[in-house]
């Protein structure tokens, strides 16, 4: 189950990166200088890309949370490390001699 979720998570990450790269830039720093009016259906494509990016991002987050929950179930310790040290230190600790004053 974990391998399936991991594969889905990787595919969703790749799709998410591609969708973000296809979106039009609205800032001036990364804009190439090509006007958006020259593209056919630029407003419709932008609307579709925005919605699909939100859907894929939501699926990616849900899949990542599922992977985290599955991995935590496997790694959860039955005992605390401090409890184990306390149990072992009582057995191996040297005894303090009594003073005969």
SS (H, E, C) 5-24: HHHHHHHHHHHHHHHHHHCC
For 54-91, how does the pLDDT look when each residue is reduced to its tens digit (9 = 90+)?
Answer: 999 999 999 999 999 988 877 656 666 666 665 655 56
Element (H, E) at 46: helix 42-75
Indicate the pTM of the whole model.
0.58
Residue of 63, 71, 87, 47 lying closest to 13 (CA atoms): 63
**Tokens linked to 10:** 């990787």
For 20-45, how does the pLDDT look when each residue is reduced to its tens digit (9 = 90+)?
Answer: 998 877 654 444 555 555 455 556 66
Q: For residue 63, how many other CB atoms are within 10 A of its CB?
A: 20
- Please give the span between the terminal C-alpha atoms of the chain, in angstroms, as a whole number: 68
């Amino acid at each position: 189950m974990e391998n399936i979720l991991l594969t889905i998570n990787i595919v969703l990450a790749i799709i998410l990166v591609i969708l973000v790269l296809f979106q039009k830039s609205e800032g001036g720093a990364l804009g190439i200088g090509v006007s958006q009016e020259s593209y056919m259906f630029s407003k419709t494509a932008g609307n579709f890309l925005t919605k699909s990016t939100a859907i894929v991002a939501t699926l990616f987050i849900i899949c990542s949370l599922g992977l985290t929950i599955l991995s935590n179930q496997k790694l959860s310790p039955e005992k605390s490390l401090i409890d184990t040290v306390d149990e072992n230190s009582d057995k191996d600790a040297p005894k303090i001699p009594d003073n005969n004053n």
